């Protein structure tokens, strides 16, 4: 019984740490602010970009009605557009670091490791 309680407790803690949950646009922007040392102005603009993307992606999910291939083909251009808009706000050094993060994330996804919020 004690082992079961311990297991359930560990499962709850791992889920609370973001296991499988999407980050909010504000959280994503704050993460970039930390990783790329964004100014407050840049962070506000990135938050607005991520918020617009989230709204569009929600409508794509609804329209796709569970069709993963349709979602993927509709979301790829949205994600590329979002990344282009964000890069336009960044300094050259920040843009290079952002691109490196995107490349590493893409490599993890191709290896089956998932994209997560990293």
* Report field, pTM of the whole predicted structure over 0.95: no
pLDDT at residue 74, rounded to an integer:
86
Tokens of 68: 């993963």
Q: Is the separation of the CB atoms in 78 and 57 below 8 Å?
A: yes
Q: What sign has the CA pseudo-torsion 90, 92, 97, 99?
A: positive
pLDDT of the chain, 118 residues: tens digit per residue: 555 445 555 555 444 444 445 789 999 999 999 999 999 999 999 999 999 999 998 888 888 887 888 888 888 899 999 999 999 999 999 999 999 999 998 888 888 755 555 4
């Amino acid at each position: 019984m004690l082992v079961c309680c311990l297991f359930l407790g560990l499962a709850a803690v791992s889920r609370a740490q973001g296991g499988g949950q999407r980050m909010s646009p504000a959280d994503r922007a704050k993460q970039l602010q930390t990783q790329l040392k964004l100014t407050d102005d840049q962070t506000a603009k990135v938050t607005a970009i991520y918020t617009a993307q989230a709204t569009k992606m929600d409508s794509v999910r609804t329209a796709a009605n569970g069709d993963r291939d349709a979602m993927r083909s509709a979301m790829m251009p949205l994600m590329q557009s979002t990344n282009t808009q964000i890069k336009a706000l960044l300094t050259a050094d920040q843009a290079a670091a952002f691109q490196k993060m995107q490349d590493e994330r893409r490599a993890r996804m191709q290896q089956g490791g998932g994209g997560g919020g990293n």
